[in-house]
Structure 1
Amino acid sequence: MFAVLFTLLVVVAISYYYRFRRSRRRLYELAAKLPGPFDLPLIGSIHVAFRRDPSEMLDYLVQHLHNLTTPLRAWLGPFLFIVIDQPEHLAIVLNSQDCIKRASVYKFVGLEKGVFNAAPDLWRKLRKQLNPSFAVPALKSFVPTFNEKADLLVKNLECMVGEKPFDILYQASEYMLATSAINSLGLDMDDDSNYKQRYLKNAEQMFTLVMNRILKVWLYPDFIYKLTSSYREEMNRRDMFQGVSKRVFSMRKEARQKSSKSATTAERDETNARRPQLFIDKLEDIANKTGILDEDGVIQNLDTFIFASNDTTSAAVAITVLMLAMHPDVQERLFQEVINTVPGSYIDYDDLSKLAYLEMVIKEAIRLFPIVPAVARLCEKEFQVGDFIIPVNAQIGIPVIKINRNKEVWGEKSEQFDPENFSAENCAKRHPYAYLSFSGGIRNCIGIKYAMIAIKIGLIKLIKSYTLSTELSLADLKFHYSIVMRISNGLVSLERRETQVSHS
């Protein structure tokens, strides 16, 4: 009896596998025409991730950065990934309406109703509605908060002057989280520093769990992942991650009911005019007027904004500080630009466009160390790129860190730090898709300008107050990867700076 049942199961499994392969015949035909690494049955190329955590995997890929030719085929279990890194090919992919959808692995990130991870139809509607939240009037309204919290960042670093080297990422994260909470929720997290610390640690650990799952194809099926301790830990951490948005959303409901009774329309308008244009106001307005967001959608977009504006920008500040500490000549040139352009303590929105070298420094830092080292899209309609055809349901991998260090574009010194890479003259010579630290094309980062303002104001305040130094070199740096990329050993030292304006 057992033998009969076993034989029947084998026959059913083979039949199912045959129909599965046959339904994807075109996918396999086109994939076979692309070069790729050695694939094992069923698991494909995922064997390279065995016994490697996300950071070790990133180290492994960086080591082989210049040896990988593209387009490159790689199977992650049943998922076909086609890696593309040529600028002219990327321009086609990233501007195609058929490649707007995030790759399948992004479902593990969650936040499917948020503008970052939403399906194409919802994303288009959200993007159109949210664009005014990142237009100049809104951005200008955030500047006072950035100034206030950047001043607090400088003050909080006083205790580190003359002390042993430390990783400034934590302080940068506190600065960004404080500004994000005010600009999105109207909540000043500096009133509860313990909660702020717990939030930052929790978010990092939650997304590390997500990244570990992405690298382990055997954990892709939900029914298997739910049996693991990682699943239970991730769910607990998600509850805390969303806790602050849910709490504020609930409090606002109660506050609106009270204010509608006690305050006149003129009083409410005057109050709103004095504060930043809060992200939650816009989301609630979208939910009430368009119906494309429910309460959970509002909360997911708030969490998306807080996470994206905190993790990415704080990592960019920390990496730029580290590069300045490593390169004293760059630091001194930037210092002179800053004090000659912004001699006062308050940084106005219009001041930022005058600091050309500052922007060059930031862009070069995140060229070498892109905050998101790789992105992926799903091809929903077959189309041609160069000499090859991308099949339907192929996942298109875009290795940002490889693109940003391509020696054919950036020269033999592509892995060295040189802000002159972003001089106006050098930028004019390059293909616009040779640099993708903020992605590109139709679904580029909606918060690019917001992020740059936050980064610039934080760095200006730091460079005016402190001299940065480090004993590290580029070769010493080690990666930590948890959705966003960070440097795990980026230690710097601080000394107070005596501000003297150069007249040279």
Structure 2
Amino acid sequence: MLAVLLTLITVVVLTYYYYFRRSRKRFYELAAKLPGPFDLPLIGSIHVGFRRGPTEIFDYLLQYLHTVPTPMRAWLGPFLFIFIDQPEHLAVVMNSQDCLKRSYVYQFFRNEKGLFNAPPELWRKLRKQLTPSFAVTSLRSFVPTFNKKADLLVKNMECLVGQDSFDMFNKVGEYALGTSAINSLGLDLDNDTSDFKKRYLENAEKMFTLMWSRIYKAWLQPEFIYKLTSSYREEMERLDMFRGLSKKVLSMRKEARQKDLKSVRPERDENNARRPQLFIDKLEQIANETGILDEEGVIQNLDTFIFASNDTTSSAVATTVLMLAMHPDVQERLYREIMNVVPGSYIDYDDVSKLDYLEMVIKEAMRLVPAGAAIGRVCEKEIQVGEYIIPANAQIVFPIFKLHRDKRIWGERSEEFDPENFSPENCAKRHPYAYQSFSGGIRNCIGIKYAYITMKIVLAKLIKSYTFSTDLTLADLKFHLSIVMRIANGYMVKLERRESKASHT
């Protein structure tokens, strides 16, 4: 009887699979024309995630991608993933209205109402409404906060002078969280005497790693299976803490309004650029005036802002400091530029644009260690990319890490740190889509200018105050996959106090 039942089940499954493939005949025909790895029946390439952690899977995928031409296909069960890393192909896909939707794997980040992961219809509305929040007037309003928190970071690092190596990421993380909490929520976390910031950052990193692991451990992707695991229970606990900050402030504001108070903080003059123009104000305005956001949507967009301005900033600044520590000649040249442009203690909005070499250094650091190792989209309609037709409903992956180290683009020294890669002359010779640290095309990052301002201010103040060194080399670095890529062996640096500043003014 059991044998008959198993036979019946097998026949049903195979019959369903046969008709399923027949109904997608063109989809499979187009996919078969693309180069790719050996795929096992039904499961495709799921087996590559077996017994590999976030560091091992990164090394494996990177080595494999260098052996296969792109576009390249890979199957995860019924899902077709197509990897694209040639700049001219990226330009086509990133500027297509039919490739605005995020890949289905982004649902694991549980942020479907936030700008980061919103479906195209909601994203278009949110983007239009939120763009003024990153205009010049708003950006100017954030500069005093950046200066104040950067000064506090410099002061807090005094105790590390002459000490053993420490992880720069942890220090920068507290700066980034402090600035994003003020600019988004109007909440100064430095008034909190507990270790909340440290716990918040540790919680976020572990939560994002859990979320990311579902991408390459494809057997955990079905929600009903994932809910049976301890990873799901841990993720829910961490998600609750992560969203707790935004929920708490939103609740405080609601209570204040119910008591007929105008705000949870003193009313500000919108024309006064010295006061931050809070992100939460704009989101509540959108929710009240347009109805495109409910309370959960406001919370998810606040969390998106905090995540984007915290994790990406921390990664980029810590990476830049580490690269400078490895290259003292670049560090000294940068120090001279900073002292010439900003000899005083306060860095104004107009000063930031004059720090040209600093921008080259930041971009080169983010080339070698981009915050996002890959970006995923869905091709909702067929699209021609080079000699291939990408089938509708294919998942498209842009492997940014590989793109940024491609010798065909960056030359034989593509694995080395050289800020001259971003000199005006070299940029003019290169395809504009060869560099994708903030994504490109229609759905590029809305906060690019915000990110560069905060990064330039904090880095300028750090380099003016300290000299950084490290025992690490580029060859030593191992990478850990999460929503934001991490250096697995840490951003380990030592620092000494600058002896003289006047001689370089």
Q: Same fold (TM over 0.5)?
A: yes
Moved more, 216-225 or 173-182: 216-225
CA deviation string 1:113-144 (max 9, x = no partner): 00000000000000000000111110100000
**Conserved 8 A contact 1:317-1:455:** yes
**Conserved 8 A contact 2:257-2:263:** no
Q: Within 1, Cα distance between the matches of 2:27 and 2:414?
A: 35
Distance 1:356 1:271, change over 3 A: closer
The amino acid that maps onto 1:189 is L
Shift of 1:61: 2.8
Match of 1:499, SS state, is coil
Q: How does 1:178-257 map to 2 (within 5 A)?
A: 178-192=178-192, 193-257=194-258
**Conserved 8 A contact 1:340-1:501:** no
Moved more, 403-412 or 477-486: 477-486
Match of 1:482, SS state, is coil
Which residue in 1 is equivalent to 2:390?
A: 390
The amino acid that maps onto 1:39 is D
Distance 1:48 1:220, change over 3 A: same
**Conserved 8 A contact 1:323-1:417:** yes
Shift of 1:44: 1.1
Distance 1:419 1:7, change over 3 A: same
Which residue in 1 is equivalent to 2:284?
A: 284
Q: Within 2, Cα distance between the matches of 1:451 and 1:261?
A: 31
Match of 1:293, SS state, is coil
Which residue in 1 is equivalent to 2:267?
A: 268
Q: Within 1, Cα distance between the matches of 2:300 and 2:240?
A: 12
Is residue 28 of structure 2 the alignment partner of residue 24 of structure 1?
Answer: no
Which residue in 2 is equivalent to 1:41?
A: 41
Q: Within 1, Cα distance between the matches of 2:346 and 2:259?
A: 36
Match of 1:41, SS state, is coil
Q: Within 2, Cα distance between the matches of 1:70 and 1:93?
A: 14
Match of 2:40, SS state, is coil
Which residue in 1 is equivalent to 2:410?
A: 410
Shift of 1:499: 3.3
Distance 1:92 1:156, change over 3 A: same
Is residue 364 of structure 2 the alignment partner of residue 364 of structure 1?
Answer: yes
Q: Within 1, Cα distance between the matches of 2:315 and 2:84?
A: 26
Q: Within 2, Cα distance between the matches of 1:402 and 1:327?
A: 23
Which residue in 2 is equivalent to 1:84?
A: 84
Is residue 365 of structure 2 the alignment partner of residue 346 of structure 1?
Answer: no
The amino acid that maps onto 2:340 is N
Which residue in 2 is equivalent to 1:163?
A: 163
Q: Within 1, Cα distance between the matches of 2:208 and 2:447?
A: 20
Shift of 1:268: 3.2
Q: Within 2, Cα distance between the matches of 1:348 and 1:34?
A: 51
Which residue in 1 is equivalent to 2:323?
A: 323
Which residue in 2 is equivalent to 1:335?
A: 335
Q: Within 2, Cα distance between the matches of 1:269 and 1:338?
A: 33
Q: Within 2, Cα distance between the matches of 1:200 and 1:55?
A: 20
Distance 1:261 1:146, change over 3 A: closer
Q: Within 2, Cα distance between the matches of 1:268 and 1:471?
A: 50
Distance 1:64 1:497, change over 3 A: farther
Q: Within 2, Cα distance between the matches of 1:66 and 1:162?
A: 42
Q: Within 2, Cα distance between the matches of 1:445 and 1:237?
A: 26
Which residue in 2 is equivalent to 1:59?
A: 59
Distance 1:2 1:423, change over 3 A: same
Shift of 1:156: 0.8
Distance 1:3 1:67, change over 3 A: closer
Q: Within 2, Cα distance between the matches of 1:379 and 1:202?
A: 34
Shift of 1:272: 8.6
Which residue in 2 is equivalent to 1:296?
A: 296
Match of 1:471, SS state, is coil
Unaligned runs of 5+ in 2: none
The amino acid that maps onto 2:254 is K
The amino acid that maps onto 2:326 is M
Compute the TM-score of the two structures, normalised by the length of structure 2. Answer: 0.96
Shift of 1:78: 1.3
Shift of 1:64: 4.3
The amino acid that maps onto 1:212 is S
Q: How does 1:469-488 map to 2 (within 5 A)?
A: 469-488=469-488
Shift of 1:271: 8.4
Which residue in 1 is equivalent to 2:154?
A: 154
**Conserved 8 A contact 2:35-2:68:** no
Moved more, 31-40 or 52-61: 52-61
Q: Within 1, Cα distance between the matches of 2:89 and 2:397?
A: 12
Distance 1:6 1:58, change over 3 A: closer
**Conserved 8 A contact 1:360-1:423:** yes
Shift of 1:269: 4.8
CA deviation string 1:42-70 (max 9, x = no partner): 22122222211122211223344533321
Shift of 1:4: 4.5
Unaligned runs of 5+ in 1: none
Q: Within 1, Cα distance between the matches of 2:127 and 2:26?
A: 34
Q: Within 2, Cα distance between the matches of 1:111 and 1:479?
A: 25
Match of 1:363, SS state, is helix
The amino acid that maps onto 1:393 is N
Q: Within 2, Cα distance between the matches of 1:363 and 1:486?
A: 17
Shift of 1:3: 4.5
Shift of 1:503: 6.1
Q: Within 2, Cα distance between the matches of 1:423 and 1:32?
A: 42
Give the 4+ runs in structure 1 shifted more than 6 A: none
Q: Within 1, Cα distance between the matches of 2:267 and 2:463?
A: 39
Which residue in 2 is equivalent to 1:496?
A: 497
Q: Within 1, Cα distance between the matches of 2:268 and 2:134?
A: 21
Shift of 1:202: 0.6
Q: Within 2, Cα distance between the matches of 1:33 and 1:6?
A: 35
**Conserved 8 A contact 1:43-1:217:** no
Which residue in 2 is equivalent to 1:307?
A: 307
**Conserved 8 A contact 1:94-1:442:** yes
Q: Within 2, Cα distance between the matches of 1:228 and 1:394?
A: 29
Compute the TM-score of the two structures, normalised by the length of structure 1. Answer: 0.96
Match of 2:66, SS state, is helix
Shift of 1:194: 1.3
CA deviation string 1:219-274 (max 9, x = no partner): 111111111111111111111110010000000112233454799xxx83548946
CA deviation string 1:268-314 (max 9, x = no partner): 35489463100000000000000000000000000111011100110
Q: Within 1, Cα distance between the matches of 2:153 and 2:263?
A: 37
Moved more, 1-10 or 295-304: 1-10
CA deviation string 1:402-443 (max 9, x = no partner): 111111111000010000000001101110001111110000
Q: Within 1, Cα distance between the matches of 2:145 and 2:288?
A: 27
**Conserved 8 A contact 1:165-1:493:** yes
Distance 1:354 1:186, change over 3 A: same
Which residue in 2 is equivalent to 1:400?
A: 400
Q: Within 1, Cα distance between the matches of 2:300 and 2:504?
A: 51
**Conserved 8 A contact 1:336-1:502:** no
Which residue in 2 is equivalent to 1:434?
A: 434
The amino acid that maps onto 1:256 is R
Q: CA RMSD for the aligned pairs? A: 1.7
The amino acid that maps onto 2:267 is R
